[in-house]
Structure 1
Amino acid sequence: MELSLHRLKLLRELRRRGTVTAAAQSLSYTVSAVSQQLTLLERDAGTPLFEKLGRRMVLTEAGVVLAEHAEEILASVERAGVAMEAAQGGVSARLTAGVWASVAAGLLPTALTALSEAHPGIELRTKELAPEDTADAVRDGALDLSFVIEYSNTPLEWDPALNRQIVAVERMHVALPPGSELGDVVALADLADRQWILAGPRSQFGRAVRRACHHAGFDPKIGHEVEEQATALAMVVSGLGVTLVSDLGLRLLPPGSYIVELADDFHRTVWVAYRASSEPRASLQLVIGAVAGAARQLGLAADPSM
């Protein structure tokens, strides 16, 4: 019996996610493509792996057994890659990282330039995801590493299947319409009567800002619910409201932006998440080091001695 690693990965996702649709979404495939590959896996296995339960496809007993072994097989393949990388005289690897706009604009250009000069054998590819989705994509094997946000007032529940390393700590700033006269430092309480432009409460950013405002004694008046930070900042410049922006987000400012310091103790930490293993990959640690170095150049290191 010869089994495709790619199809085993799809089987693992089906077991984790519960439905073919969810498995397909987690790996950015179409439902039909996943269904076709799972059918081929069942043919290769020579025994029924799935059965219909209403409109759902569920695992048979044999399917559950194979899915459990798929976890071990895929983990062994990853460990083999780590061992081969360690055995090489020079580090050579291709990694894929989950990013979002402010990290891509603020940290990656400097980090990738330094990485290419010091370790040209390492190729880092990126995939933009919502910050809320990046850790899951690493855990599920779709990414090698990802950038993860943790707000000071909204601690993350960390997955024990993942390791993390801190690379930056960002302050939060207030973006005001041009002509606002609130001084060089503004407290959240000073913005209680203002109209806000803010991401929805399902996003980490939207939830954390709402919580910070509530702690300051008010609930923000949301005039415009906007998920993209660049769009929100453009609306602020047009005089439609106020919002908050992090240090890295300052790279996205449109012309005419008016930014002041936030008086409240509200910040966010940027971590790099990667799968836990017995031995960390040398290439991955070099990437993390390059990103931390870029953060240090911007004055965003958690520890100035990093």
Structure 2
Amino acid sequence: MELSLHRLRMLRELHRRGTVTAAAASLHYTASAVSQQLAQLERDVGAKLFERLGRRVQLTELGMLLTEHAEEILGAVERATTSLEEAQDAVSARLTAGVWASVASGLLPSALTALAAEHPGIQVRSKELAPEDTAGAVRDGTLDFSFVIDYSDYPMPWDPSLVRVVIAVERLHAAVPMGVVPTGTVPLTELAEHPWILAGPRSHFGRAVRIACQRNGFEPKISHEVGEQATALAMVGAGLGVTLVSDLGLSLLPPGVDIVALTEPVMRTVSIAHRATATRRPSLQFVIDAVRDAAADKGLGASSPIP
């Protein structure tokens, strides 16, 4: 019997999520792809591992037994990877990172350039995801680490199996059409009557900004609901409304936009999240150090670990 680590990860996620659709979403595959791989796993084992109960899938006794071993096997693989890295004089590793636009444009280029100069054997691949999805992809093994956000008004729920290391602290600023708001500073309440361009309430950013506005006594009048910060800023530049933008997001700034500081700024922390079992992995620590240095060079440095 030859067991695929890839299929064991799918089995583990199916056990956690309860449905093939939910497992596929968390692993960023189609439901049909996960179903095919799980069916192949049954053929590999030569025994029935699943039973369908309506829309849910229940593991058989053998399925539960294999899931328990899958946790041990996948953990052992990660520990072996760490030990091999620690035993090498020059670390060689391939890591996959979860990113979003402002991190990918504002931090990653300088961090990876410095990393390549110091540790050429470490390769980092990036995958752009919504910020609210990256932590789950780290937990299930799809990513080695990811960037995650916590807003001062809206901290992100946390999984105790993951570790966060804060690498940057940012302010949110008002992004307004040129000449519409006096430069300098502005209270958030002065933006209450302007049309807003904002991500949907299910996104972490969209929810955090709505909460900040509500705490200042108003509900933002959303004229344009868009998910991408670059798109929102382009619409601001066209005079269609106002939005908020972080320090890292300023790298996406188009013409026609004024950036105005908020009198009582909304803050957010950018952290790197990784599995607790990977804490000793040298390649991961080298990446964290490089990203911290890149953030510090931009005046956004922070070094506080969050358990």
| TM above 0.5 | yes
Distance 1:48 1:287, change over 3 A: same
**Contact 2:195 2:241 (8 Å CA) reproduced:** yes
Q: Residue deviations 1:267-301, cap 9 Å, x none?
A: 10000000002752100010010000000000001
Q: Matched residues in 2 for 1:76 and 1:87: separation?
A: 16
Q: Residue deviations 1:13-62, cap 9 Å, x none?
A: 11112111222222222322222221221122222111222344321111
The runs of 4+ residues in structure 1 deviating greater than 4 Å are: none
Q: TM-score, normalised by structure 2?
A: 0.95
- Report matched runs for 1:111-190 at 5 Å: 111-190=111-190
Q: Equivalent residue for 2:58?
A: 58
Q: Equivalent residue for 2:86?
A: 86
**Amino acid of the structure 1 residue aligned with 2:95:** L
**Amino acid of the structure 2 residue aligned with 1:265:** P
C-alpha deviation, 1:131, in angstroms: 0.2
Report the secondary structure of 2:74's partner residue.
Answer: helix
Q: Equivalent residue for 1:271?
A: 271
**Amino acid of the structure 2 residue aligned with 1:267:** M
C-alpha deviation, 1:303, in angstroms: 6.0
Q: Matched residues in 2 for 1:303 and 1:16: separation?
A: 33
Q: Equivalent residue for 1:293?
A: 293
Percent of aligned pairs sharing the same letter: 67
Q: Matched residues in 2 for 1:265 and 1:50: separation?
A: 51
Q: Matched residues in 2 for 1:41 and 1:278: separation?
A: 27
Report the secondary structure of 2:172's partner residue.
Answer: strand
**Are 1:29 and 2:29 an aligned pair?**
yes
Q: Matched residues in 2 for 1:215 and 1:109: separation?
A: 36
Q: Residue deviations 1:226-266, cap 9 Å, x none?
A: 11111111111111111000000000011222111111131
Q: Equivalent residue for 1:104?
A: 104
Q: What is the number of equivalent residue pairs in this alignment?
A: 304
Provide structure 2 residue ranges, at least 5 long, that are not aligned to the other structure.
Answer: none
Q: Matched residues in 2 for 1:89 and 1:183: separation?
A: 54
Report the secondary structure of 1:2's partner residue.
Answer: coil
Provide structure 1 residue ranges, at least 5 long, that are not aligned to the other structure.
Answer: none
Q: TM-score, normalised by structure 1?
A: 0.96
Q: Matched residues in 2 for 1:56 and 1:22: separation?
A: 10
Q: Residue deviations 1:166-200, cap 9 Å, x none?
A: 10001111111122142311110111111111111
Report the secondary structure of 1:65's partner residue.
Answer: helix
Distance 1:89 1:158, change over 3 A: same
Q: Matched residues in 2 for 1:91 and 1:243: separation?
A: 43
**Contact 2:134 2:148 (8 Å CA) reproduced:** yes
Report the secondary structure of 2:85's partner residue.
Answer: helix
Q: Equivalent residue for 1:229?
A: 229
Distance 1:278 1:35, change over 3 A: closer
CA RMSD between the two structures: 1.5
Distance 1:147 1:279, change over 3 A: closer
